[in-house]
Amino acid sequence: MFIDHVAIYVNDLEAAKDFFIKYFAAVSGEIYRNEKNRFFLIFPRF
């Protein structure tokens, strides 16, 4: 079985990013910001 990606909706994107870096040794890219649709995301790599 292979999982390509999982979406998790959070209220505080920076705090979620820090959590995955601290506890799962994730590497985070830049935050993607779509101001028009108020959509922000980060793709952490494990």
pTM for the predicted model, two decimal places:
0.74
Q: Does residue 8 belong to any structural domain of this protein?
A: no
Owning domain of residue 18: 13-45
pLDDT band (50, 70, 90) for residue 3: confident
Q: In this predicted model, what pLDDT tens digit does every residue of 5-36 receive, in sequence order? A: 888 999 999 999 999 999 999 999 888 999 89
Q: Does residue 39 belong to any structural domain of this protein?
A: yes
Q: Does residue 4 belong to any structural domain of this protein?
A: no
pLDDT of residue 16: 93
What is the number of domains present in the chain?
1
pLDDT of residue 22: 96
Give the number of other CB atoms < 10 A from CB of residue 23: 8
Give the number of other CB atoms < 10 A from CB of residue 27: 10
pLDDT of residue 26: 94
Q: Does residue 17 belong to any structural domain of this protein?
A: yes
